[in-house]
Structure 1
Amino acid sequence: MTPGSGAGVIVHVIGRDEWAAVEAELRPASLGVEGFVHCADPDQVAGVIERYYADRDDLLLLHIDPSRVTAPIIREDTTGRGEVFPHVHGPIPRTAIIAVTPA
């Protein structure tokens, strides 16, 4: 499957160093603080990077196959702007990450 293609692929934005530290599961700080892993649909990624990561040049995109994620994926508007994002309410197994590309 090509990154971003196919129904249902979701994307997580991560720094190179953070990705290098991931072993069996992706457990970013947001999982402990907010209770979920922030993800986006492929067409939302550019806006996410522009809004939250504009000052970073070390970003990677993790392309995730939701069928390989065991935690609930809930589409939510947590910003109040009417835009719904897929949030993974648990760790993401490394085996669910089907591709890693530069942002």
Structure 2
Amino acid sequence: MVIYKIVAADEWREAEAAGVFAGAAIDRADGFIHFSTAGQAPETAAKWFAGREDLTLAAVDAEALGADLRWEPSRGGALFPHLYSALPMSAVVWSRPLRLGPNGRHVFGSLEA
């Protein structure tokens, strides 16, 4: 299964250089790295990243994260993937810029591995 991380592009470049992503400020404050499923990602972008053009979308192999990945209730009781460790770049399937469309919403395209 693939899960997704929306993150500021500059933070992602730093993580790629380091070989590991320790989380954005909100992740570190909450004690885990927030992820979304393919179905949850557009709503996450609209709620937390509306209008931002400086984003990267990363696809991550959930199985590669092992027991540190937990599915916990969040918005409306839906289960969201939360990682209780740093994200190794070896678990990243792909990453790409997350652009805004002409309607001001982020364009996700195909969310497949």
Aligned amino acid, residue 85 of structure 2:
G
- Is it true that 1:45 corresponds to 2:41 in the alignment? yes
Q: 1:93 aligns with which of 84, 88, 94?
A: 88
Distance in 2 between the 1:82 and 1:70 partners?
A: 23
Q: 1:21 aligns with which of 4, 14, 29?
A: 14
Contact 1:31 1:90 in 2 (8 A): no
Distance in 1 between the 2:13 and 2:82 partners?
A: 22
Distance in 1 between the 2:27 and 2:42 partners?
A: 22
Q: Structure 1 stretches (4+) deviating beyond 2 angstroms?
A: 29-32
Using the TM superposition, give the Cα deviation of residue 32 of structure 1 relative to its aligned residue in structure 2, in angstroms: 2.9
Distance in 1 between the 2:21 and 2:95 partners?
A: 13
Distance in 2 between the 1:30 and 1:71 partners?
A: 22
Q: Say which structure is richer in helix.
A: 2
Matched residues, percent identical? Answer: 26
Three-state SS of the structure 1 residue aligned to 2:74 is: coil
- Is it true that 1:9 corresponds to 2:2 in the alignment? yes
Distance in 2 between the 1:58 and 1:43 partners?
A: 22
Q: What TM-score does the superposition give when structure 2 sets the normalisation length?
A: 0.76
| Distance 1:71-1:35 versus aligned 2 partners, 3 A rule | farther
User: What is the aligned residue count?
Assistant: 95
Unaligned runs of 5+ in 1: 1-7
Alpha-carbon RMSD across the aligned residues, in angstroms, is: 1.5
